[in-house]
Homo-oligomer: A and B are copies of this chain.
Amino acid sequence: MPHLANSSLEDRPTAVVVSLHPRNGLTEQRSSRRLSLQPKYGHGTSHVDVRYQWTGAPDAPTIIVQGGISADRYVAGAEDQPGWWSELVGPGHAVDLAHCRVLSIDWLTPSDFENHPRAISSEDQADALAGLVDALGIGCVAAFVGSSYGAMAALAFAARHPDKLDKLVLLAGAHRAHPMATAQRAIQRQILRLGQASGQINEALSLARQLAMTTYRGSEEFARRFDGTPDYREGRFHFPVEDYLEHAGRSFVQRFDLERFLALSESIDLHDVAPESINVPATLIGFPSDRLVPLADLCELQRRLRGSATLEVVDSPYGHDAFLKETSKLAPLLRQAISCRRGA
Contacts and interface: CB of A to CB of B under 8 A. Distances in A.
Interface stretch (A144-152, A199-207, A328-336): A199-207
Nearest to A272: B229
A179 interface: yes
Nearest to A242: B186
Interface stretch (A64-72, A153-161, A219-227, A251-259): A219-227
Contacts of A199: 198
Interface string A261-295: 00000100110100000000000000000010010
Interface stretch (A49-57, A77-85, A94-102, A187-195): A187-195
Contacts of A119: 237
A179 B237 contact: no
A214 B187 contact: yes
A197 B197 CA distance: 13
A184 interface: yes
A214 B182 CA distance: 10
A37 interface: no
Given A237-B266, A270-B230, A270-B237, A222 B190 contact: no
Given A194-B195, A204-B194, A179 B210 contact: no
A222 B180 contact: yes
Contacts of A198: 194, 197-200
Contacts of A190: 207, 210
Contacts of A210: 183, 187, 190
Contact of A194 (B179, B194, B225, B245): B194
A95 to B, nearest CB: 32
A241 interface: yes
A178 interface: yes
* Dominant SS among interface residues on chain A: helix
A242 B184 CA distance: 9
A262 to B, nearest CB: 9
Contact of A239 (B182, B219, B225, B236): B182
A211 interface: yes
Contact of A183 (B197, B200, B222, B291): B222
A76 to B, nearest CB: 32
Contact of A241 (B179, B191, B230): B179
A240 interface: yes
Given A178-B219, A239-B269, A245 B200 contact: no
A118 B232 contact: yes
Contacts of A197: 198, 200
Given A187-B245, A197-B198, 14 more contacts: A178-B219, A179-B225, A180-B223, A180-B241, A183-B226, A183-B239, A183-B241, A184-B214, A187-B210, A191-B207, A198-B198, A229-B272, A237-B266, A237-B270
Interface of A: 118-119, 178-180, 182-184, 186-187, 190-191, 194-195, 197-200, 203-204, 207, 210-211, 214, 217, 219, 222-223, 225-227, 229-230, 232, 235-237, 239-242, 245, 266, 269-270, 272, 291, 294
Q: Can you list the 9 inter-chain pairs with the closest CB atoms, starting with the nearest?
A: A198-B198, A179-B226, A186-B242, A180-B222, A179-B222, A180-B219, A183-B241, A183-B214, A179-B241
